[in-house]
């Protein structure tokens, strides 16, 4: 029996077989969680359905996190089918591509800044708000994915830096508020991994190369490693951990 057996988990952010959310799905399925998925846009529907079916799940729902009615519909469906929910995985981030090249002040715009923060940071609070009533009395967990650019001025990460800083502050504020209800809130700060979102960052190869050369383990991390950590953090094995940002970066952030 896996350490997530009996847990009902919603996984967002599957966009391809390389997505971090795909690595999380594999680990969750192996550990016995019951899964539901969301997809953004019709183009991704069949891909996410395929992954869901491979893990015995029929619960695949559309979700663009900029739309309140879609967030409401997702949790409405989960309430109908499951009654409640134990785990939400927020693996969503976005900034307009033009803002992820050149200098920060050179590229940033009011609209781009607002959109990056809406999709990458506010959406975690929005999912937390909607999930909260379904998580009562269940030792539940909310988990998001962040990056070192939240706390360091990583070149080219630009507007995503402030957006991830906001996301990490959300982890702390949400953890403080939801703790009394037995709901834990954490973030995983992953090292660079080649995914669709990462391909949008100019100079991403350089980030991968630097991590490989400079991390304590002298290599990059995999979606399987992030998936295993997500499974642990979302499980009752991590019952004493909340409000935390856990680095899964092969020890890059500790190096001088």
Footprint of ligand 0WD (CB under 6 A): 13, 15-16, 19-21, 40, 63-66, 91-94, 119, 145-147, 190, 192-193, 195-198
By beta-carbon proximity to ligand 0WD, the closer residue of 32 and 200 is 200
Contact indicator for 255, 214 with CB cutoff of 8 Å: yes
By beta-carbon proximity to ligand 0WD, the closer residue of 190 and 238 is 190
By beta-carbon proximity to ligand 0WD, the closer residue of 48 and 183 is 48
Annotation marks residue 147 as catalytic: yes
| CA–CA dist 109, 119 (Å, integer) | 15
Q: Both tokens of residue 31?
A: 């550990």
| CA–CA dist 212, 216 (Å, integer) | 9
By beta-carbon proximity to ligand 0WD, the closer residue of 82 and 122 is 122
Q: How far is the CB of 144 from ligand 0WD (least distance, A)?
A: 7
- Token pair 């070149």 is found at 155
Beta bridge partners of 145: 188
Q: How far is the CB of 251 from ligand 0WD (least distance, A)?
A: 15
- Degrees to nearest 5, angle at CA 236 with 230 and 242: 65
Compute φ and ψ for 232, nearest 5 degrees.
Answer: -60, -50
Contacts of 41 (CB under 8 A, 6+ apart): 62, 64
Q: How far is the CB of 182 from ligand 0WD (least distance, A)?
A: 26
Contact indicator for 163, 121 with CB cutoff of 8 Å: yes
Annotation marks residue 157 as catalytic: yes
**Burial class of residue 152 in the structure, from the number of CB atoms within 10 Å of its CB (0-12 exposed, 13-18 middle, 19+ buried):** exposed
Length of the chain, in residues: 256
Angle between helices 110-117 and 160-178 (to 10 degrees): 40
Greatest Cα-to-Cα distance within the chain, rounded to the nearest angstrom: 53
By beta-carbon proximity to ligand 0WD, the closer residue of 109 and 136 is 109
By beta-carbon proximity to ligand 0WD, the closer residue of 195 and 242 is 195
Tell me the catalytic residues.
147, 157
């Amino acid at each position: 029996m896996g350490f997530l057996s009996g847990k009902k988990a919603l996984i967002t952010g599957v966009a391809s077989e390389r997505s971090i959310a795909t690595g999380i799905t594999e680990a969750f399925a192996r550990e016995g969680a019951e899964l539901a998925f969301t997809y953004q846009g019709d183009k991704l529907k069949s891909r996410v359905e395929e992954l869901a079916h491979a893990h015995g799940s029929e619960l695949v729902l559309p979700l663009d996190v900029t739309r309140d009615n879609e967030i409401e519909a997702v949790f409405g469906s989960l309430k109908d089918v499951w009654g409640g929910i134990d785990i939400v995985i927020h693996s969503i981030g976005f900034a307009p591509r033009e803002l992820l090249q050149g200098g920060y002040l050179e590229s940033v715009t009011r609209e781009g800044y607002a959109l990056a923060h809406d999709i990458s940071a506010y959406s975690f609070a929005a999912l937390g708000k909607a999930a909260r009533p379904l998580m009562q009395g269940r030792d539940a967990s909310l988990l998001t994915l962040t990056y070192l650019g939240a706390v360091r001025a990583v070149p080219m990460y630009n507007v995503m830096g402030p957006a991830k800083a906001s996301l990490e502050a959300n982890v702390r504020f949400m953890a403080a508020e939801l703790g009394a209800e037995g709901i834990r809130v954490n973030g995983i700060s992953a090292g660079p991994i080649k995914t669709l979102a990462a391909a949008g960052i100019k100079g991403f190869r350089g980030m991968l190369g630097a991590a490989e050369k400079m991390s304590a383990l002298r290599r990059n991390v995999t979606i399987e490693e992030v998936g295993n950590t997500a499974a642990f953090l979302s499980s009752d094995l991590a019952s004493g951990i909340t409000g935390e940002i856990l680095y899964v970066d092969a020890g890059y952030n500790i190096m001088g």
